[in-house]
Amino acid sequence: MQGFITPLATLHKFQGFADKFLATPAGGIDDQWLKLAAKLSDIELSLIYHSFSAANGGLDYGREWDAQASVWYKRHYQFLLKLARYQADGFATDTSKLWLQMSVVY
């Protein structure tokens, strides 16, 4: 079976913010995840835990924690902070990433 490959895209919506699975591994991927989300006043928060393993063969790929906080300012400006921490266990390497983004919407 051929995996889905998107080398010029981010798969943040799927399989973690650290982008360790931009191409599906030969053994496939099983992503068991749990997401907690809350809104405190104007700040939206989320915390996501992933446990990655091979869909075939039982290889453990590793774990990842993702955190995100966003806030809107004066209805037109959004600030976003994202953090990813992937801990390798048989696939790729340990990786930490941090993003700070500002969007202007009119």
pLDDT digits (tens, 9 = 90+) for 14-46: 899 999 988 889 899 999 999 999 999 999 999
**Residues 36, 55: Cα–Cα separation, whole Å:** 25
Q: Taking Cα atoms as reference points, which of 38, 43, 47, 87 lies closest to residue 66?
A: 47
- pTM reported for the whole predicted model: 0.85
* pLDDT score, position 24: 86
pLDDT digits (tens, 9 = 90+) for 41-73: 999 999 999 999 999 988 999 999 999 999 999
* pLDDT score, position 5: 66
Q: Taking Cα atoms as reference points, which of 106, 85, 80, 82 lies closest to residue 95?
A: 85
